[in-house]
Amino acid sequence: MTIFDKFDQLAAARQALEENCGDFFNMVVDDIISATEAVVNGRRMILAGSNNYLGLSFDSDCIEAACEATRQAGTGTTGSRMANGTFSGHVALEKELAQFFKRRHAIVFSTGYIANLAMLSTLVGPDEIILLDADCHASIYDGCRLGKAEIIRFRHNDINDLEKRLKRLAKRNTNILVVVEGLYSMLGDRAPLSDIAAVKRKYGAYLLVDEAHSLGVLGENGRGLAEEAGVEDEADFIVGTFSKSLGAIGGFCVSNHQQLDLVRYASRPYVFTASSSPGVIASTRKALSILHTRPELRRRLWDNANMLYQKLQDLGFSLGPEPSPIVAVRQQDKEEALAIWNALVQHGVYVNLVLPPATPDGGALLRCSMSAGHTAEQIEHIGQAFAAAHRTDQAAQTG
């Protein structure tokens, strides 16, 4: 017996996938052409799975801000925020995030994953409870596991199940943190946040909303689902990432609770992680400014999302429950999903292939994500590629 024996089942599953979809584990981006195109494994492709919602990873102002900060302050901080890693840019970004979200306090983390690890492992302690939506992201689950709170799931977007559990837990007379997402990353559906906020208020719980996929996407000012639903005052904590709409990497939490600052001193993921590089912080600050001042990017994103959703719906694909920048094509058969993904690659379109157990319903997903940077011609090509892939798959099944 060796230390690697526990991976035998995983190795067998990977080998089976490689036999049917050899490129799946070996996709390498050779050259980035734009926010929506790249050369992948030597083939020019439209990127339709990058979460680059506003296309800002290639914005010239963001790039120049990153270059100038790197020239002035170097390529990295080489230390954590609690050591030598708090530069003036980190402090400025925290102030700008607080202003953008109309909150009093903000903390910047090195990644969105670390933001959830830090907040969820630190905010809620022994004898307290985290009540989370069953479809929450892996980083939320990992943050819950890292802490010492009791973890209870409620059925996805089921307000009745949430209230039933809150009512049952009321007799425990302890702190409860309800955790949901704005846009769910697999199917692109919204949380019923106004109802969740009302139930949270009724039972005196706290509410944390992960706006990772809804920052820059939802709300009149792009602040996310809490803004769109008109319940920003009910969301005690907003967590998010810079790696989607802001085209960089990093994470944050904003809140009106003045004790938020204490998380810096109590959270191991914050204390023991190197801080973001000056270039990343500078490009994020510029992207946040653009998000606030260029609402046309958000309108273009939604035009593109609605266009692709309609095209794929007309082709007869089973999709996520509502149009959003995340357009999920649902397949019950894993082999069929693999075949369509392979065909899309052959037609120069890259989407995310998501297989169980990462999917919410045990099926497989071809997960597309739209960008404000996509052109109408590119969306037309994506639609044609899906149509051709669908025909090829049907022919294979009947043949």
Give me the tens of pLDDT residue by residue for the chain, a chain 399 residues long. Answer: 999 999 999 899 888 877 776 677 788 999 999 999 999 999 999 999 999 999 999 999 999 999 999 999 999 999 999 999 999 999 999 999 999 999 999 999 999 999 999 999 999 999 999 999 999 999 999 999 999 999 999 999 999 999 999 999 999 999 999 999 999 999 999 999 999 999 999 999 999 999 999 999 999 999 999 999 999 999 999 999 999 999 999 999 999 999 999 999 999 999 999 999 999 999 999 999 999 999 999 999 999 999 999 999 999 999 999 999 999 999 988 889 999 999 999 999 999 999 888 888 888 999 999 999 999 999 999 999 999 998 766 656 655
Split into its structural domains, the chain has a count of: 2
Of the residues 269, 293, 317, the one at which a domain ends: 293
Q: Does residue 257 carry a catalytic annotation?
A: no
134 and 173 belong to one structural domain:
yes
- String of DSSP letters for 223-269: --HHHHHT-GGG-SEEEEESSSTTSS--EEEEES-GGGGGHHHH-HH
Burial class (CB in 10 A: 0-12, 13-18, 19+), 158: middle
Q: Which of 185, 243, 267, 371 is catalytic?
A: 185
The answer to whether residue 370 sits within a structural domain is yes
Q: Which of 90, 105, 137, 244 is catalytic?
A: 244
How many C-beta neighbours within 10 Å does residue 108 have? 25
36 and 174 belong to one structural domain:
no
Global pTM?
0.96
- Report residue 254: phi and psi, to 5°: -125, 150
278 and 308 belong to one structural domain:
no
The answer to whether residue 245 sits within a structural domain is yes
Q: Which of 213, 311, 334, 390 is catalytic?
A: 213
- pLDDT given for residue 397 in this prediction: 63
Give the distance between the most distant pair of CA atoms in the chain.
Answer: 65
The answer to whether residue 2 sits within a structural domain is no
Question: In terms of residue numbers, what domain contains 222?
Answer: 58-293
User: Angle of helix 193-203 relative to helix 159-169, nearest 10 degrees?
Assistant: 10
244 and 376 belong to one structural domain:
no
Angle made by CA atoms 387, 392, 395, in degrees to the nearest 5? 125
Contacts of 314 (CB under 8 A, 6+ apart): none
Burial class (CB in 10 A: 0-12, 13-18, 19+), 392: middle
Q: Does residue 286 carry a catalytic annotation?
A: no
The answer to whether residue 3 sits within a structural domain is no
238 and 384 belong to one structural domain:
no
Query: Rounded to whole angstroms, how far apart are CA atoms 132 and 138?
Result: 12
225 and 167 belong to one structural domain:
yes
336 and 223 belong to one structural domain:
no
150 and 204 belong to one structural domain:
yes
- pLDDT given for residue 221 in this prediction: 97
390 and 284 belong to one structural domain:
no
- Report residue 249: phi and psi, to 5°: -150, 145
The answer to whether residue 53 sits within a structural domain is no
Contact between 223 and 182 (Cβ < 8 Å)? no
Of the residues 242, 263, 293, the one at which a domain ends: 293
The answer to whether residue 334 sits within a structural domain is yes
- pLDDT given for residue 396 in this prediction: 60
- pLDDT given for residue 305 in this prediction: 98
Indicate the pairing of strand 150-154 with strand 129-133: parallel
- pLDDT given for residue 355 in this prediction: 87
The answer to whether residue 32 sits within a structural domain is yes
The answer to whether residue 52 sits within a structural domain is no
Query: Rounded to whole angstroms, how far apart are CA atoms 365 and 315?
Result: 16
287 and 300 belong to one structural domain:
no
Domain CATH code at residue 375 = 3.90.1150.10
- Report residue 348: phi and psi, to 5°: 75, 35
Of the residues 264, 293, 322, the one at which a domain ends: 293
190 and 306 belong to one structural domain:
no
Query: Rounded to whole angstroms, how far apart are CA atoms 358 and 337?
Result: 14
Closest C-alpha among 282, 387, 210 to residue 62: 282
367 and 302 belong to one structural domain:
yes
Q: Does residue 95 carry a catalytic annotation?
A: no
Domain CATH code at residue 133 = 3.40.640.10
